[in-house]
Amino acid sequence: MTTVAIRSTQKSTNVRGRLAWPRRLVGALARIAPGATAAVAERLFFTPPRPHPSRGERALAGAHRADVQVDGRRIAAWRWGEGPVVVLVHGWGGRAGQLTSFVEPLTSRGFAVVAFDAPGHGRSGRGLSSAPQFARALQAVARSQAGAHAIVAHSLGAAAVALALRDGLRVERVVFLGAAADPPAWVGAFARRLGLPDGVVDRLRARSERRLGISWSELHVPRLAASFEVPLLIVHDRDDREVAPEDATEIAAAWRGARVVETAGLGHNRPLRDAGVVRGVVEFVTGGSVATCACGAPAAEAGSCEPCRLEAELFDPAGRWEALANRG
């Protein structure tokens, strides 16, 4: 694991949307009918919130539609350009338009870009969704494109990528943005918000495992990552209030050769359209190295910041002597 510009972190939790049910009403129902309460809670937990409008949606109008069918559901997908395919995967409650800032920089470098709305999201229609369903959609999209060179995934999309890799998807590069290490852990905050007792949460988990055909323990990204060797870049913001920065550290520690770049002041979603992040991700995906300094400058700009150059020389004796020799 290589870590770049890691600073102090702030713990946060994803509550998966706002819930309006009064806690006392749910608690009373749980005591009277725990099974029915678990059924309702499962539906709430696995129903995506409606996404906020995204400026990136305009870019979809210029794309070629590349829809696929997964589990009897139509998955809306879009393609730009020609060349090796880079697939963009949004997170929980997101949509394809959120990641379109990557389209032009990648297509201008000779790559095709494919983005899709996951099941239950955006133009793929309403309904239940989950990381395994994201993963099956990703696999179907990749197959429809005769494979993928790289994947750029946000938030819950990271768990979907890990599942797809476990199940045989092959790519050359992977990028995680604000990646969640253990999505099932979100049920804790969800249960506290609703006032669900442990017994109902256990029923919720059992119901979903039967429906999805996968145990929650299989969705732990660091555990899945232990067998992966594909190069991984993780970008995580230290001010992310949806997914804790510690998740990035945990994934990188388990994923051989992973690299972490920490940003500041961007939160959970703004890295998807930040110019510096986009440049760094594109350099990595297209085969370039991702050099960063303390200010977060991408490879093309690393070293241009005087304080960062001095800091790099201070902590890199070999580089310091080489720099001094060049100046002499």
148 shares a domain with 258: yes
Per the structure, how many domains does the chain have?
2
> Mean pLDDT across the stretch 52-77?
90
109-121 residue pLDDT tens: 999 999 999 999 9
When the pLDDT of each residue in the chain is averaged and rounded to a whole number, the result is 84
User: % helix / strand / coil in the chain, to the nearest 5?
Assistant: 45, 15, 40
Question: Are residues 302 and 243 located together in one domain of the fold?
Answer: no
CATH code, 171: 3.40.50.1820
Q: What is the pLDDT of residue 250?
A: 97
- Quick one: pLDDT band at residue 33, thresholds 50, 70, 90? confident
pLDDT at 288: 64
Percent of the chain residues topping a pLDDT of 70 = 79
My answer on whether 305 and 233 are in the same domain is: no
pLDDT score recorded for residue 85: 97
Q: Are 155 and 94 in contact (CB under 8 A)?
A: yes
222 C-beta neighbours (distance < 10 Å), count? 17
- The answer to whether residues 191 and 318 belong to one domain is no
SS3 85: strand
Residue-wise pLDDT tens digits, 316-325: 444 433 443 4
Quick one: 179 and 316 in the same domain? Answer: no
Least reliable range by pLDDT among 17-26, 137-146, 250-259: 17-26
What mean pLDDT comes out for the span 151-164? 97
Query: Is residue 254 located within the same domain as residue 176?
Result: yes
Looking at per-residue pLDDT, the higher value among 221 and 312 belongs to 221
Higher per-residue pLDDT: 90 or 57: 90
CA–CA–CA angle 257, 92, 243 (5° rounding): 55
Phi, psi of 113 (to 5 degrees): -125, 135
Residue 301: per-residue pLDDT:
42
> What is the pLDDT at residue 7?
36
Give me the amino acid identity at 215. Answer: S
Structure tokens at 184: 């099932």
Look at residue 246 in the predicted model and tell me its pLDDT. 96
Determine the pLDDT at residue 253: 96
Same structural domain, 97 and 145: yes
Task: Inform me whether the pLDDT recorded for 34 exceeds 90.
Answer: no
pLDDT in tens, 1-32: 554 443 333 333 344 444 444 566 666 777 78
Asked if 193 and 126 sit in the same domain, the reply is yes
Higher pLDDT, 313 or 242: 242
Residue span of the structural domain in which 308 resides: 298-328
So what's the pLDDT on residue 312?
43
- Domain shared by 60 and 178, yes or no: yes
Q: What is the pLDDT of residue 57?
A: 84
| Distance between CA atoms of residues 120 and 16, nearest Å | 14
- For residue 320, the 8-state DSSP code is H
Listed ranges 3-12, 42-51, 266-275, 288-297; the one with the highest mean pLDDT: 266-275
pLDDT for the residue numbered 212 = 94
Lowest-confidence segment of 44-53, 83-92, 171-180 by average pLDDT: 44-53
Mean pLDDT across the stretch 180-199?
A: 91
Q: Are residues 211 and 259 in the same domain?
A: yes
pLDDT top residue among 26 and 297: 26
Residues 215, 313 share a domain: no
Considering the domain architecture, whether residues 219 and 312 belong to the same structural domain is answered as: no
Q: How far is it, in rounded angstroms, from Cα 92 to Cα 76? A: 16
CA distance 287 to 2: 17
pLDDT of residue 208: 96
**Antiparallel, parallel or unpaired: β 77-80 and 150-154:** unpaired
Residue 176 three-state SS? strand
